[in-house]
Structure 1
Amino acid sequence: MRHTEFWARMEDALGAGYARAWAEQQVISDLGHRTVTEALDAGESPKQVWRAVWERLGLPPSEK
């Protein structure tokens, strides 16, 4: 997964106006107690970060 696809999924799940703010504020334990933005900046793969976001938001399997 590329970063562009990751951010498109984030916007689909949370809305264009909220996705980046959520990514900067929500600390997720599956990401080493980092925010989405911190995990991506540290080099975590967008696919791995998306899995953690998907789990945290309780999104349906079709969005995995």
Structure 2
Amino acid sequence: MRNTVFRKLMADEFGQVRSEVLASEHVLSALGGRTPDQALDVGLPAKEIWLAVCDAFDVPEHRR
């Protein structure tokens, strides 16, 4: 998954503004205590980050 796809999925699920705030400020233990943006910066795969966000926010399987 590309970063652009990750950003689109985030915006589609949470709305543009909320997705930006979540990506920059919400720390996830599944990402090693990083925010999604920090995880992207250190090279974690976007798909792994997306699935961690989905788990944290109970996104239904059919929208993952």
Superposed pair shares fold, TM > 0.5 = yes
Percent of aligned positions that are identical: 36
The one-letter code sitting in structure 2 at the alignment partner of 1:40 is L
Q: Normalized per residue, which structure has more strand?
A: 1
TM-score w.r.t. length of structure 2? 0.94
Question: What whole-Å deviation, never above 9, does each CA across 1:37-64 have from its counterpart, x for those lacking one?
Answer: 1000000010000010010110000112
Q: Structure 2 regions of 5+ residues with no counterpart? A: none
SS at 1:34 equivalent:
coil
**Alignment size in residue pairs:** 64
Q: Structure 1 regions of 5+ residues with no counterpart? A: none
TM-score w.r.t. length of structure 1? 0.94
